[in-house]
Amino acid sequence: MAALKTILYLLVYPGVLFLFVYSTFCEWFDRKVYARLQNRMGPTHTGRFGLLQPVADFFKLMAKEDITPDLADRRLFTLLPIFGLAIVATAGLLLPVWVFDLSAVPMISFSGDVIVLLYLLSLPTLILFLAGWSSTNPFSAIGGTRVLTMLFGYEAPLFMTVLSPAILANSWRLSEIALFYQHKPWLILPNLLGFAVALVCVQAKLERTPFDIPHAETEIVGGTLTEYSGKKLAFFRLMTDIEMVVSAGLIAAVFLGGFPGGLWLGLLNFVVKTLVVIFILSLIRALTSRIRVDQVVSFAWRYLAPLAVLQLLIVIFIKGLLL
Amino acid sequence: MRFNIPIGPQHPALKEPISLRMTVEGEVIRDADLRLGYNHRGLEKLAEQKTWVQNIYLTERICGICSHSHTTCYVQGVEKLMEIVPPKRGLYIRTLVAELERIHSHLLWLGVAGHEAGFDSFFMYTWRDREVVMDLLEMISGNRVHYAINTLGGVRRDLDEGQIKKILDGLVVLKERSVYYARIGTTEPSFVARLAGVGYLSKEKAMALCAVGPTTRASGVARDVRKDDPYAAYEDTSFEVATADTCDVLGRTVVRIKELLSSYQISEFLVRNLPAGDIAVRAPKRAKPNEVLSRYEAPRGENTHYIKSNGSDKPERLKVRAPTLANYAATIEMLKNGFIADIPLIFAAIDPCVCCAERTVELVNGRTGEEKTVRFAELRALAAERHKQLSTKRNAVWPL
Amino acid sequence: MRVAAFLPELLRHLFKKPNTVDYPFKKLEVPPGFRGTPFLRPELCIACRACERDCPAEAIEMTLLDEAEKKWKMIIHNDRCVHCAQCVDSCPVSPIKAMDIDERYELADFDRHNLKREWVYLRAVLKKAEPKPAPPKTEPKPQTGQV
Q: Crossing angle of helices B249-272/B161-187, nearest 10°?
A: 160
CATH number at residue B237: 1.10.645.10
- Give residue A258's pLDDT band: very low, low, confident or very high (50, 70, 90): confident
- Identify the closest residue of chain A to C15 by CA–CA distance: A36
Q: Do C4 and A38 touch (CB under 8 A)?
A: no
- Give residue B84's pLDDT band: very low, low, confident or very high (50, 70, 90): very high
Q: Please report whether residue C127 resides in a domain.
A: no
Q: Please report whether residue C143 resides in a domain.
A: no
ipTM score of the complex? 0.80
The residues near B170 (Cβ < 8 Å, ≥ 6 apart) are: B132, B133, B135, B136
The answer to whether residue B399 scores a pLDDT higher than 50 is no
pLDDT-wise least confident of A16-20, A119-123, B86-90: A16-20
State CA B308 to chain mean position distance.
Answer: 23
The answer to whether residue C14 scores a pLDDT higher than 60 is yes
Interchain CB contact of C4 with A (< 8 Å):
yes
Q: Please report whether residue C130 resides in a domain.
A: no
Query: Which of A247, A205, A273 has its CA nearest to residue A19?
Result: A247
> Is residue B183 a contact partner of residue B261, using CB atoms and an 8 Å limit?
no
Interchain CB contact of C16 with A (< 8 Å):
yes
Q: Please report whether residue C8 resides in a domain.
A: no
Q: Please report whether residue B374 resides in a domain.
A: no
- Taking an 8 Å Cβ-Cβ cutoff, which residues of chain A contact chain B? 37-40, 138-139, 142, 209-210, 212-213, 216-221, 286-295
Regarding beta strands B19-25 and B290-298, do their DSSP bridges make them parallel or antiparallel, or are they unpaired?
unpaired
For chain B, the domain total comes to 1
Burial (CB count <10 Å: 0-12, 13-18, 19+), residue A4: exposed
Regarding beta strands C116-122 and C71-77, do their DSSP bridges make them parallel or antiparallel, or are they unpaired?
antiparallel
Sort out which chain A residues have CB atoms less than 8 A from C18's CB and list them.
35-36, 39-41
| Amino acid found at B9 | P
Q: What percent of chain B has pLDDT over 70?
A: 89
- Give residue B155's pLDDT band: very low, low, confident or very high (50, 70, 90): very high
Q: Please report whether residue B105 resides in a domain.
A: yes
Distance from CA of A176 to the nearest CA of C (A): 36
Task: Quote the domain boundaries for residue C67.
Answer: 35-122
What is the tens place of the pLDDT at every residue in A129-167? Answer: 999 888 888 778 888 888 888 888 889 999 999 989 888
Chains with 3 or more CB pairs closer than 8 angstroms to A?
A: B, C
> Is residue B95 a contact partner of residue B232, using CB atoms and an 8 Å limit?
yes
Where are chain A's structural domains?
Answer: 59-322
Q: Crossing angle of helices A192-205/A264-287, nearest 10°?
A: 70
Sort out which chain B residues have CB atoms less than 8 A from C33's CB and list them.
139, 142, 157
What is the tens place of the pLDDT at every residue in A42-69? Answer: 888 888 888 999 999 999 999 998 888 8
Compute φ and ψ for C122, nearest 5 degrees.
Answer: -95, 140
Which of A40, A139, A295 has its CB closest to that of B124?
A: A40
Q: Please report whether residue C5 resides in a domain.
A: no
Q: Please report whether residue B288 resides in a domain.
A: yes
pLDDT of residue A276: 94
Query: What's the rounded mean pLDDT across residues B302-319?
Result: 90
Count other C-beta atoms under 10 Å from residue A83's C-beta: 18
Q: Please report whether residue B22 resides in a domain.
A: no
CATH number at residue C85: 3.30.70.3270
